[in-house]
Chains A and B, each alone.
Chain A
Amino acid sequence: MDFTYSPGEQAMIEEYKRQGKILRQHARYWEEHESEVPPEEFPESADNPTPLLKLAIDKEGDSSGIVMGMMVTIYNSWGDTLSMKMGPGALGNAALAAAGTPEQKERWGNTRLAMSITEPGCGSDSKAVQTTAVLDGDEWVLNGDKIFVTTGVRADGVVVWATIDKSAGRAGIKSFIVMKGTPGFELVRKEKKLGIRADDTAALRFDDCRIPRDHLLGGDETVPKAGSGGFKGVMKTFNMTRPAVGAGGIGKALASHDHVTEQLAEQGFEVDWEKGRQNRSTIEQTMLETEADLEAATLTVYRAAWLSGQKKPNNLEASVAKSKGGEVARTGPQRMIEVLGAVGITHDHLVEKWLRDGRISDIYEGTGQIQRLIIAREIFGYTSAELD
């Protein structure tokens, strides 16, 4: 049992914070130039190589790679939504890597592919996808509207979900690779959002968009019979995307808390950890409770990651982590604005931005309510049919 960071991890975290503060200098500009897409690499990146290099100090006592990945996600998110230097690829590339045929991986592996699932009429209930793909000769014909496509403006193409048989429900849904420039594939707009405005989020339209037959991801055109697959209540599976999204939300809330802690320190105020409950000021209590909530959420994220590193199933813990991360992303910055008072809503501070940025954390990758469904199915031993 150990809950301390190794010297290398500490150095890495400090470096993420230092670079994060550089990125914050760009934060307002890109937030206010929402229709533009930020550069893939900021000029400062030449002098600021990845903080991961700091780990090299001393490998002794480092956490498992998966746990460390969560540290990276928290403190990468701590600075701002901007990245010093974007990596290659996007969410669609993960789908290609997981489900693509060797030929498909060879052909599109070096492009940037967004993932397109959500539609105006369906979000969490992804089996309700309305976009259709109809085979016409040797071509698929796609029709439908897609929204909330992360990296959709910048991407070279998308992996898009469409149904080839509506009567089959989830089993009828297939993924297709559609590259930009294909006739009938339109980039409708960059979405205008509450937060993460610099983040590239697209709305797409497919209007009799024809793609070759071999653009079906994985190449399997069959539709399994209903009930052959199914969604078990207790999934002995690994999941690290949910804890990662929780970690991102924690990063924003932590940034808010750290910022306000600094602001208070400038005015000579700090939390006295020894003082008893009955003698704390309201501000002390608020700072303390917010930090406790952040700590609790962070530990649930590390727990989910640690289990995965131990090759133990973490479906339940992944949703616990996502649910806690999403919660503190909402409550943390809210309370930090309360501590700052009226000036907290102004652009003097980035806290109002982090409140808006972090708000998505309890929505994407499964809303807090979807997480509770998953948790409840696990602890009751229910299938999705028994608890829907």
Chain B
Amino acid sequence: MIDFSLTEEQEMIRDAARNFAQNELVDRARDADEEFNLPEDVTEGAWAMGFVAGAIPEANGGVGMDRSPTTNVLVLEELGAGCPSLASGAMSPSLFVNPLIDFGTDEQKAEYLPAFTGESFTAGTLAMQEPDFSFDPANIKTSATLSNGEYTLNGVKRLVPLAESSDHILVLAKTGEGIGLDTLDAFIVPRDASGLSISNERERTIGFQAVPHYTVTLDNVKVGASQRLGGEQGIDGARLVNSIRIGAAALAVGCARAATEFAIDYAKERHAFGKPIAQKQAIAFMIADMHTEVDAMRWMVWKAAALLEQNHPDATKATTLAQNYVQRKAMKVADDGIQVFGGHGFIRELPVEMWFRHMRTLTIIEGPVAA
């Protein structure tokens, strides 16, 4: 059945996320970006809303809400419309928490999830990205070799958010050979493990400057077999990667929506040659296309999230299509967003140039959050 309806609960959570994003993120975005600062009250505020830890089972000390990618994309779109950078910083722990909920053994859940059920923001992260230009989650280079009951991890990870403040880093690695998302494994690695080093300097990036990203190097890091996520079974690599790709896409839809709404307001106020530029087809059509693509992108993301939630065999295909579509169209929307504002779009006073930088970030990296 083709059905776009939301449950009442989903509408409530979406509205709460919208209020939070508009009230707590929008006004903080510029300073956070300029100051390379992820404000504590933002992360605490998002934490208090339960966006990250809500789905931690009651058995692990959580409130046990449904683990729902469809609800998550509604939340992430709203947060992305507030500020995708602050949103990603506040939601980074989802990169650790959601895979633990999805794939963790009972022992792993019991050991690692309670740390995220407290009242204060707790950092957690995932190390995925690698330095090669041909980086591909289906053919990851970081290796995990089993010997004498323990795994030895080797590899370099880039752009790991909050690595420095997370007690544990979930490291994506390959235990065998071959290509495909089913070759993926994840290891729960303590930040202070011997052989694990975190770059002294934060990574400098075009966007998401509020979020501290680091290079994490794994040089013969040894972890016990019990640190392999999912135990002997391992993980469903496609499901993990899909949830991350959908998360990034949902943030991008939100950011694109914000850019479109901002452009609409401006075009109606800004006069040129005697009338509002919104009354000129060259501008009106550009903004009409921005609106159209935000709609189209959103339904792509919803479909992928719905199939992921159903554990549908086409979930990976739907995710890849949504990711591809959003990466192309969201970038175009943010780019045209600048064009509508002309020179003002280039000045670091209005948010449009910032959204442009965030969007380039968001449409390249595999995902700063998990849906």
- Chain A contacts to B: CB under 8 angstroms: 1-6, 61-63, 67, 71, 273-279, 288-289, 291-293, 295-297, 299-300, 302-303, 306-307, 310, 317, 320, 323-324, 369, 372-373, 375-376, 379-380, 382, 386-387
Contacts and interface: CB of A to CB of B under 8 A. Distances in A.
Contacts of A291: 321
B165 interface: no
A4 B3 CA distance: 9
A382 B279 contact: yes
Interface string B120-137: 000000000000011111
B136 A4 contact: no
Contacts of A292: 300, 321-322, 324-325
B4 A317 contact: no
B302 interface: yes
Contacts of B299: 296, 299-300, 302-303
A277 B318 CA distance: 15
B293 to A, nearest CB: 8
Chain A contact residues: over half helix, strand or loop, or mixed?
helix
Given A1-B6, A306-B3, A376-B287, A278 B324 contact: no
Interface in B317-370: 317-318, 320-322, 324-325, 327-329
18 contacts: A1-B6, A1-B302, A4-B1, A4-B310, A5-B1, A62-B1, A273-B320, A274-B316, A275-B138, A278-B133, A299-B300, A303-B4, A306-B2, A307-B4, A372-B281, A379-B287, A380-B284, A382-B279
Given A292-B325, A299-B300, A306-B4, 16 more contacts: A2-B2, A4-B1, A4-B312, A62-B1, A273-B317, A275-B138, A277-B324, A279-B139, A291-B321, A295-B318, A306-B2, A372-B288, A376-B285, A376-B287, A380-B267, A387-B278
B5 A1 contact: yes
A233 to B, nearest CB: 11
Central interface residue in A2, A291, A386, by most chain B CB within 10 Å: A2
Interface in B288-314: 288-289, 291-292, 295-297, 299-300, 302-303, 305-307, 310, 312
Given A279-B139, A296-B299, A375-B291, A274 B181 contact: yes
Nearest to B7: A1
Contacts of B318: 3, 295
Contacts of B278: 376, 380, 382, 387
A299 B301 CA distance: 11
A359 B305 CA distance: 33
B88 interface: no
Central interface residue in A3, A61, A306, by most chain B CB within 10 Å: A3
